[in-house]
């Protein structure tokens, strides 16, 4: 099973404003930058509870009929995800990954700052695709956080787009 991150950040490394606002991201995701191809390659989406709450404000459920796993340590009302295939899990990332692998997941999309950080700390992310949006927002929800040790990355490619998006793809080098 492979676990990937595909995320948009400000140049100063934030994925949302402190209050969760995403108003600094280009409307509608901006110009095509590989998201459609990426999401088509994924069979399971793992999101943190806070990202789930944000997604519910979008109106239409954005993940179609993909299996979505919402992580929380509390009981989450999943009924608002109308039309979605949604379940809840929680606990150490290694246990979550083991459950997903045992239930047939092949390519997992891990999303949400805290969620990504916990998976990275546990050595469970294989690939990072980070799209930098040309803006500094000063403060907000960080993509990265503390780590127990360095995580070595292999640079796969960096692509730039006319609107100013700069996307870098990395493989996490096995420890
Ligand atoms: N720019 C982008 O591409 C992008 C992408 C994704 C999200 N975002 C934004 O980022 C913000 C959310 O990020 P965030 O870092 O605040 O939070 P998050 O990762 O979405 O959610 C954090 C919550 O997820 C739960 N959680 C995570 N790992 C868990 C585990 N292993 N076991 C049990 N529960 C677990 C916990 O919920 P409980 O507190 O309920 O226990 C935790 O408080 C939102 O504003 C969202 O819109 C931006």
Residue located nearest, by CA, to atom 37 of ligand 1:
72
d(CA 47, CA 52): 6
Residue 148 in contact with ligand 1 by CB distance below 6 A = no
On the question of pLDDT at 16 being above 90, the answer is yes
Residue located nearest, by CA, to atom 36 of ligand 1:
72
Higher pLDDT, 83 or 169: 169
pLDDT of residue 27: 87
Neighbours of 152 (CB within 10 A): 11
Q: Does the predicted TM-score (pTM) go above 0.85?
A: yes
Are β-strands 107-111 and 44-48 bridged in parallel, bridged antiparallel, or unpaired?
parallel
Q: How far is ligand 1, taken at its centre, from the CA of residue 155, in Å? A: 26
Residue 89 in contact with ligand 1 by CB distance below 6 A = no
Residue 142 in contact with ligand 1 by CB distance below 6 A = no
Query: Among 72, 23, 28, 25, which residue's Cα sits nearest to residue 47?
Result: 72
Q: How far is ligand 1, taken at its centre, from the CA of residue 162, in Å? A: 30
Q: Report the residue among 22, 38, 50, 121 best suited for mutation to probe ligand 1: largest number of ligand atoms under 8 A from its CB.
A: 50
d(CA 126, CA 120): 9
Query: Among 56, 39, 29, which residue's Cα sits nearest to residue 5?
Result: 39
Distance of CA 72 to the CA centre of its chain: 15
pLDDT confidence of 41, banded at 50, 70, 90? very high
129: left (phi over 0), alpha (psi -120 to 50) or beta: beta
Residue 124 in contact with ligand 1 by CB distance below 6 A = no
Residue 49 in contact with ligand 1 by CB distance below 6 A = yes
Q: Name residue 5's beta-bridge partners.
A: 128
On the question of pLDDT at 68 being above 70, the answer is yes
pLDDT confidence of 175, banded at 50, 70, 90? low
Sole residue written with tokens 């608002």 = 80
What element of type H or E holds 167? strand 166-172
Residue located nearest, by CA, to atom 24 of ligand 1:
48
Q: Which atom of ligand 1 is nearest to the CA of 142?
A: 15
Mean pLDDT of the chain: 96
Average of per-residue pLDDT across 6-29: 95
């Amino acid at each position: 099973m492979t676990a990937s991150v595909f995320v948009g950040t400000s140049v100063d490394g934030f994925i949302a404003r402190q209050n969760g606002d995403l108003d600094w991201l280009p409307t509608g995701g901006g110009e095509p930058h590989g998201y459609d191809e990426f999401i088509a390659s994924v069979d399971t989406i793992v999101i943190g509870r806070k990202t789930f709450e944000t997604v519910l404000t979008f109106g239409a459920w954005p993940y179609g009929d993909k299996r979505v796993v919402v992580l929380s340590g509390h009981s989450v009302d999943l009924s608002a995800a109308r039309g979605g295939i949604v379940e809840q899990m929680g606990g150490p990332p290694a246990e979550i990954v083991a459950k997903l692998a045992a239930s047939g997941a092949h390519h997992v999309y891990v999303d949400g700052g805290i969620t990504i950080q916990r998976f990275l700390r546990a050595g469970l992310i294989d690939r990072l695709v980070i799209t930098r949006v040309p803006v500094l927002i000063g403060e907000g929800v960080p993509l990265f956080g503390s780590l127990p040790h360095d995580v070595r990355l292999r640079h796969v490619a960096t692509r730039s787009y006319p609107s100013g998006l700069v996307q870098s793809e990395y493989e996490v080098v096995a420890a």
